[in-house]
């Protein structure tokens, strides 16, 4: 193994977390290197989230990273809830703080962030997997990486940013007992679908149905995201095209509210609603960001937005410390992020309980479904509840 070079900040992972952090560090004049185990084509084509909160758009705009999303993104400010007793809509852009979402497919944002990082002269290495992190307690950290030609190299860094997702090596580099790991399995799974079809309605629609939740979310003029609640362990391939559309029409109550615009299913996968939070999200010279710091269920589309929030706070702390500051800002990274992470977790958890009720006719199931109905009615009828919802739905 040849010992290679050193950098101020080594970023592991080129998802939204790593790429936003890298761009913000470059803008602040901080030397950094990003290593990503997948190819450039792979990360630029990976379809994931798409709802960007107002704060996220502000951060990206301030740092010159938002040209694409301002040009091609769609502003979104209405969501609808369909239940047995009808549909109600919340025009959340006129509620709460008056903030709206920008819908911009995550792979397009990733493509923009990669292009910008490279245009600014950034060092971004695809097909380069981080294998091991050492020296987190010492004067400098080192990361062993496998390069595209299969050899191993050692990269030294003053700080390491673990932006490598929930299954990356950063989490496991933290010694047992140094952080607490809180987790919750919500016991709900969604079949997540991308359909080659324009959106069927202007609103994001959440259908609460005794046969399971169904959701409709715009992505781009040609592609729409749909969700169908399914049993855990479902094989996505077992859902045929016809069964998917029949079930979507049934649960979205198309007979009452109008048909959906059908199209080929481009992608299908099962997502289990799970959440976890690490506390603290820092150990020695390692800072965890995005899914590496905590996983949030997709029920309120908070994942990418939390990653941007954390990247912004970390970039400020690192720039301050590496620019000769006393390090207090950097030392507060975890304490500054965690209250916001828990707020987002609380709202996502509340959304899960809003959208899913237990099946069955035993007393407890009936009781919980009555609570769910009361929750939905409160949201339908109370302006104060709607303001609170809007503030949390778009905000962090
Ligand atoms: N070495 C290098 N790269 C790695 C390694 C490794 N050992 N392990 C994982 N990676 C890369 C993955 O290939 C991936 O590109 O880290 C990246 C992590 O990216 P994401 O999974 O997108 O995670 P993050 O950036 O935290 O995402 C933020 O956006 O869509 C949402 O679900 C996503 O909530 C998450 C948010």
Looking at residue 2, its pLDDT comes to 56
Looking at residue 49, its pLDDT comes to 81
Question: Is residue 79 included in any domain, yes or no?
Answer: no
- 80 in helix, strand or coil? strand
Question: Is residue 265 included in any domain, yes or no?
Answer: yes
pLDDT interval class at 299 (50, 70, 90)? confident
For residue 163, the domain's CATH number is 3.50.50.60
Question: Is residue 158 included in any domain, yes or no?
Answer: yes
Query: Domain check: are 173 and 196 in the same one?
Result: no
Query: Domain check: are 197 and 264 in the same one?
Result: yes
Question: How many whole angstroms separate alpha carbon 348 and alpha carbon 358?
Answer: 18
Contact 355, 297 (CB under 8 A): no
Arithmetic mean of pLDDT, 239-261: 97
Please work out whether the CB of residue 163 comes within 6 Å of at least one atom of ligand 1.
yes
Q: Specify the range with the lowest mean pLDDT, choosing from 20-24, 55-59, 292-296, 357-361.
A: 357-361
Looking at residue 287, its pLDDT comes to 98
Contact 371, 28 (CB under 8 A): no
Mean pLDDT of the residues in the chain: 95
Query: Domain check: are 247 and 210 in the same one?
Result: yes
- 192 in helix, strand or coil? strand
Question: Catalytic annotation on 226?
Answer: no
Question: Catalytic annotation on 393?
Answer: yes
Counting the structural domains of the chain, the total is 2
Name the more confident of 300 and 168: 168
Query: Domain check: are 219 and 279 in the same one?
Result: no
Arithmetic mean of pLDDT, 234-244: 95
- Check 16, 216, 227, 298 and give the catalytic one: 298
Query: Domain check: are 280 and 232 in the same one?
Result: no
Query: Domain check: are 38 and 141 in the same one?
Result: yes
- 233 in helix, strand or coil? coil
In the predicted structure, residue 34 carries a pLDDT above the cut 70: yes
Query: Domain check: are 32 and 142 in the same one?
Result: yes
Which letter, b or e, does each residue of 224-247 get, where b requires 16 or more Cβ atoms within 10 Å of its Cβ? bbbbbbbeeeeeeeebeeeebbeb
Name the more confident of 220 and 30: 30
For residue 233, the domain's CATH number is 3.30.9.10
Ligand 1 atom at minimum distance from 49 CA? 30
- Give per-residue pLDDT as tens, 69-109: 999 999 999 999 999 999 999 999 999 999 999 999 999 99
Query: Domain check: are 241 and 113 in the same one?
Result: no
Residue range of the domain that includes 250:
186-273+361-394
Arithmetic mean of pLDDT, 209-228: 93
- Give per-residue pLDDT as tens, 112-168: 999 999 999 999 999 999 999 999 999 999 999 999 999 999 999 999 999 999 999
Ligand 1 centroid, distance to 14 Cα (angstroms): 6
Contact 385, 378 (CB under 8 A): yes
pLDDT interval class at 301 (50, 70, 90)? confident
Question: Is residue 81 included in any domain, yes or no?
Answer: no
Arithmetic mean of pLDDT, 159-178: 96
Query: Domain check: are 53 and 143 in the same one?
Result: yes
In the predicted structure, residue 278 carries a pLDDT above the cut 90: yes
DSSP secondary structure string for all residues of 134-182: E-TTSSSEEEEEE-TTS-EEEEEEEEEEE-S-TTSHHHHHSPTTSSEEE
In the predicted structure, residue 180 carries a pLDDT above the cut 60: yes
Ligand 1 centroid, distance to 149 Cα (angstroms): 22
What share of the chain in percent tops pLDDT 70? Answer: 99
Please work out whether the CB of residue 103 comes within 6 Å of at least one atom of ligand 1.
no
pTM (whole model) above 0.85:
yes
Query: Domain check: are 172 and 254 in the same one?
Result: no
In the predicted structure, residue 4 carries a pLDDT above the cut 70: no
- Give per-residue pLDDT as tens, 322-367: 999 999 999 999 999 999 999 999 999 999 999 999 888 999 999 9
Q: How many beta carbons lie within 10 A of that of residue 12, not counting itself?
A: 30
Looking at residue 3, its pLDDT comes to 56
In the predicted structure, residue 304 carries a pLDDT above the cut 90: yes
Please work out whether the CB of residue 130 comes within 6 Å of at least one atom of ligand 1.
yes
Query: Domain check: are 268 and 278 in the same one?
Result: no
Name the more confident of 41 and 300: 41
Please work out whether the CB of residue 49 comes within 6 Å of at least one atom of ligand 1.
yes
Please work out whether the CB of residue 294 comes within 6 Å of at least one atom of ligand 1.
no
Ligand 1 centroid, distance to 12 Cα (angstroms): 9
Query: Domain check: are 45 and 122 in the same one?
Result: yes
pLDDT interval class at 383 (50, 70, 90)? very high
Question: Catalytic annotation on 167?
Answer: no
């Amino acid at each position: 193994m040849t010992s290679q070079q050193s950098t101020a900040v080594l970023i592991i992972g080129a998802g939204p977390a790593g790429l936003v952090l890298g761009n913000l560090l470059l803008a602040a004049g901080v030397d950094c290197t990003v290593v990503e185990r997948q190819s450039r084509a792979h990360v630029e084509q990976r379809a994931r989230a798409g709802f960007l909160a107002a704060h996220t758009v502000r951060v990206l705009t301030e740092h010159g990273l938002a040209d694409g999303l301002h040009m091609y993104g769609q502003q979104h400010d209405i969501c609808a809830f369909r239940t047995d007793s009808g549909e109600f809509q919340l025009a959340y852009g006129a509620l709460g703080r008056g903030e709206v979402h920008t819908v911009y497919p995550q792979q397009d944002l990733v493509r923009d962030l990669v292009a910008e990082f490279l245009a600014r002269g950034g060092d971004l290495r695809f097909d380069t997997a981080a294998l091991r992190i050492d020296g987190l307690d010492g004067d400098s950290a080192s990361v062993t990486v496998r390069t595209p030609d299969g050899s191993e190299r050692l990269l030294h860094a003053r700080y390491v940013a673990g932006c490598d997702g929930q299954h990356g090596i950063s989490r496991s580099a933290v010694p047992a007992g140094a952080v607490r790991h809180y987790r919750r399995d919500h016991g709900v799974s969604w079949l997540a679908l991308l359909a080659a079809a324009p959106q069927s309605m202007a609103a994001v629609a959440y259908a609460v149905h005794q046969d399971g939740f169904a959701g409709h979310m715009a992505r781009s003029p040609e592609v729409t995201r749909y969700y169908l609640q399914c049993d855990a362990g479902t094989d996505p391939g077992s859902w045929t095209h016809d069964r998917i559309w029949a079930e979507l029409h049934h649960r979205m109550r198309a007979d009452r509210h109008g048909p959906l615009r059908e199209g080929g299913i481009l992608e299908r996968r099962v997502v289990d609603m799970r959440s976890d939070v690490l506390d603290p999200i820092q150990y020695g010279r390692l800072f965890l960001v995005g899914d590496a710091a905590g996983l949030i269920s997709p029920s309120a589309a908070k994942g990418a937005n939390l990653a941007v929030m954390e990247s912004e706070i970390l970039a400020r702390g690192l720039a301050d410390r590496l620019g000769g500051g006393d390090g207090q800002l950097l030392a507060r990274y975890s304490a500054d992020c965690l209250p916001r992470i828990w707020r987002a977790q609380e709202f996502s958890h509340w959304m899960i309980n809003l959208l899913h009720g237990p099946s069955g006719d035993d007393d407890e199931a009936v009781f919980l479904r009555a609570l769910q109905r009361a929750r939905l009615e409160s949201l339908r009828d109370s302006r104060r509840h709607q303001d609170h919802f809007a503030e949390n739905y778009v905000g962090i």
